[in-house]
Amino acid sequence: MSHIATVGRCSWRVRVGLGALYAVLILGALTTVYPFLLMVSTATKSQNDYNDYTFATLVPPYLRNDAALYTKYIEDRYANNLDELNTAHSAEYVKVGDVTPPAGAGGARALVADWQAFARTLPPIHTRAGFGEHDNAPSLLLLRYRQHLRERFGNRIEALNAAWTEENVSFDGVTPPFERTARREWTPETSPKMTDWQAFKASLPTDFLVVSLADPLYRKFLKEEVYEDDLQALNAKWNTDHKSWTEITLPRTPPADARAADWETFVRTKYPLRILSVDASALPAWRRFLAERTRPDAATAGFPYPLPASGDRLTDWMEFVGRRAPVEALRVDSAENLWRASLQEKHASVAAANAALGTNWSSFDNAVPPQARADWEYVVDNARSLRSEFSTRNFRAVAGYILLHGRAVANTVIFCLLAILAAVIVNPLCAYALSRYPLPYAYKVLLFLLATMAFPAEVAMIPNFLLLKDLGMLNTFWALVLPGLASGFSIFLLKGFFDSLPKELYEAGILDGATEVTMFRRITVPLSMPIFSVIALNAFTASYGAFLFALVVCQDPRMWTLMVWLYDLQATAPQYVIMAALTLAALPTLIVFLFAQKVIMRGIILPSFK
């Protein structure tokens, strides 16, 4: 019994020991896998969430939470621009990351549908393109725009430069013209670039367009320039009871109350002129104004619609609206006011509109475009496609960058193949000679070869560069392959493996009259496939990951390998795009190892059984 108890205790201790060993191995595996998972996770993020490095955010929140997805979509749609976001949503967010779904987001679809149907009828002067570039992040708008230009100009950047009188190096450097929709005097110019841009913008899907609103401009003017963020002072002057700045709207016509002075000042000095109209009753005043300025067409001139982008007529109109136009003739034809007018036409009363649209307006003047609610409903309706888009965008951007720049993929494949061929031809022949022929100075040769590992590769970089330059091999595959043609470590490893092979096989080969070449080909190579795989894998990883030397000896971008192009990308790309690039760069090595791991393990295990 005591013997059985002793055996049981020993067995228990063995199980405990094995359990502890497995626990340590699992922990070690986690410490290896976790950084890679963190890198993959960061590669699926963007500007507002890439700094979340907690264990809980290994799976980005937007992949499992609609509210987080909404924040992600808003960041993308409004190009991470807080001013544009607050303008579009009539909000006062401090940062984009504070965005939350609108209250009661599940209802009022009729209101959203009415607003979206109206927005589709607006002329281009009331809209701007969303999803623009920000923080050097991948932009849906830029991708579409540049593809449009490639098709428009037959993928010839020279044709674009000639048409636009520009000097772009490639289509990847072309950016859209600025749309300064908040500026008083801005209107689309008539240049070829702007004409092409307007044609492109007209082809965009509705969800790519953002309606430019005027109410937020009015609120900003009142808050920052008139009342210095003192809402109570505004209420005291206007005799109102506004609880928030977002409750203030800009009437279409001059109000007949205490708001009149502020309204007039804003419309005359700040309101965008391209969406301002003047009643025909002011036409005589306009012609008298032109006559005072001795304009030749003063007697017959009409209002300058559409507004010119520059010139005397623009200056005249700005001065007339600012000082001489009768205030009662000014009309604020903003998108909000046009929508409010359409609501009045559709519904007999405010009560009828509230019943149909699920709102609680006290008057049509209080109607605020539901852009925030429209954005939320778009996210809810397209959650799956948005998650797929956001999680793969950085990877697609990196892949597109690599495929469109130089010959990175082809150069890398050719370089790796040449490096592998050289490694499995030169090194085995040298190791075979040292193994088969017991030379008295063989160990000195091995010591010399191993001594080359004592010096960093950077030490030989300049001599190699000068030698390759003298030989005229710079910017060629010879420059990439020749310096690493032989490896002291590989020769040492191969010799040790060859020494472990049965000598009887070679003696039998000699008796059969086989030459050394035949014995190398028929005996050594088949038995050495595991170690050959290790050597090939080492050659692949060294050539695939080569960066500094590849950049030094091949400075022509046409000869750049993948790693050099990724380094070039890192100069401008944000961190999350860099993580996507590193993840994609790591995949080939990982895939090769997964497919060759059995052969590699045989190379490690078999010598111990020889």
Domain residue spans of the chain? 2-43, 62-212+379-399, 233-360, 405-609
What CA–CA distance (Å, rounded) separates 307 from 566?
A: 47
Burial 18-34 (b: 16+ CB within 10 A, else e): eeeeeeeeeeeeeeeee
The stretch 431-455 carries a mean pLDDT of 79
What CA–CA distance (Å, rounded) separates 301 from 292?
A: 13
What CA–CA distance (Å, rounded) separates 389 from 382?
A: 11
DSSP-assigned states of every residue in 87-123: HHHT---SSGGG--PPTTTTS-HHHHHHHHHHHTTS-
Q: Could you tell me where the DSSP H helices lie in 120-191? A: 140-152, 157-164
Contact assessment for residue 358 and residue 83, using Cβ atoms and an 8 Å cutoff: no
Closest CA to 165 of 196, 200, 128: 196
Q: What is the pLDDT of residue 608?
A: 44
Per-residue pLDDT of 229-288, as tens digits, reads 999 999 999 999 999 998 999 999 999 999 999 999 999 999 999 999 999 999 999 999
Per mean pLDDT, which of 256-265, 351-360, 362-371, 549-558 is the most reliable?
A: 256-265
Residue type, 589: T
Q: How far from 536 is each of 420, 487, 519, 532, CA to CA, in Å?
A: 5, 12, 21, 6
Per-residue pLDDT of 187-209, as tens digits, reads 888 889 999 999 999 999 988 99
* CB neighbour list of residue 266: distance below 8 Å, 6 or more residues apart: 218, 221, 222, 250
What CA–CA distance (Å, rounded) separates 60 from 52?
A: 9
The stretch 27-48 carries a mean pLDDT of 82
Give the fold, CATH level 3, of 405-609: MetI-like fold (1.10.3720)
What CA–CA distance (Å, rounded) separates 583 from 581?
A: 5
- Inform me whether the pLDDT recorded for 164 exceeds 70: yes
What CA–CA distance (Å, rounded) separates 502 from 524?
A: 10
Extract the tokens encoding 288.
Answer: 């008298």
Per-residue pLDDT of 306-351, as tens digits, reads 888 888 899 999 999 999 999 999 999 999 999 999 999 999 899 9
In this prediction the pTM is 0.82
**Which residue reads 């760069």 in tokens?**
585
What CA–CA distance (Å, rounded) separates 218 from 313?
A: 26
DSSP state letter for 191? S
* CB neighbour list of residue 509: distance below 8 Å, 6 or more residues apart: 518, 519, 522, 523
**What is the CB neighbour count within 10 angstroms for residue 210?**
23
Contact assessment for residue 326 and residue 285, using Cβ atoms and an 8 Å cutoff: yes
